[in-house]
Amino acid sequence: MKLLDIGEITQRSGVKPSTLRYYEEVGLIQSLTRHGLRRQYEPQILTKLSLIMLAKAGGFSLSEIAGMFSEKGQLQIPREQIRDRANLIDQQIKELTALRDVLHHVADCPAPSHMECPSFQRMLKASGRQKPVKKKPPTY
């Protein structure tokens, strides 16, 4: 099994060396060995990084993401948590959809003041008061 330098990981994943080192520092990933000082990664790390990027885009924090992997680097989440997370994501999707609808409304509605347009108000109401959402998408 051929090992990869940090530079290759960067090339193939788009994740910067400084970020990879940071992820290691916080325990999110680890390199298999060192060649001299240099970190050597197994190719599987690339899959893991894909997952990490996906979860980040989904608004999960690094520590939440870390919690999704077991010791052996396997994705391992108790069923119940999966259900919860899936619900959380569905919630986010609803919010995003509401936001998109509002934008489309603004694009199409001829009313001079959206702020008072009843259908606009309705959309806002509809989107409001569900539950919190977690953390933050990146600027990668």
Among residues 69, 60, 77, the alpha carbon closest in space to that of 30 is found at: 69
Which residue has tokens 């999707």? 93
Residues that bind DNA (CB under 7 A): 5-8, 16-19, 21-23, 31, 35-39, 56, 61-63, 135-136, 138, 140
Contacting residue, 8, 19, 22, 53, with a second copy by CB under 8 A: 53
Judge whether 6 and 19 are in contact, CB under 8 Å: no
Q: How far is CA 46 from CA 11, 25, 64, 100, 113, in A?
A: 11, 18, 19, 33, 50
Judge whether 72 and 79 are in contact, CB under 8 Å: no
Pick the stretch among 4-12, 20-28, 30-38, 125-133 that binds a second copy (CB under 8 A): 125-133
CB of 71 vs DNA, minimal distance in Å = 20
> For binding to a second copy (CB under 8 A), which residues are involved?
44, 47-48, 50-51, 53-55, 57-59, 73-75, 77, 79, 82-83, 85-86, 89-90, 92-93, 95-100, 102-104, 106-107, 113-115, 121, 124-125, 127-128, 132-140
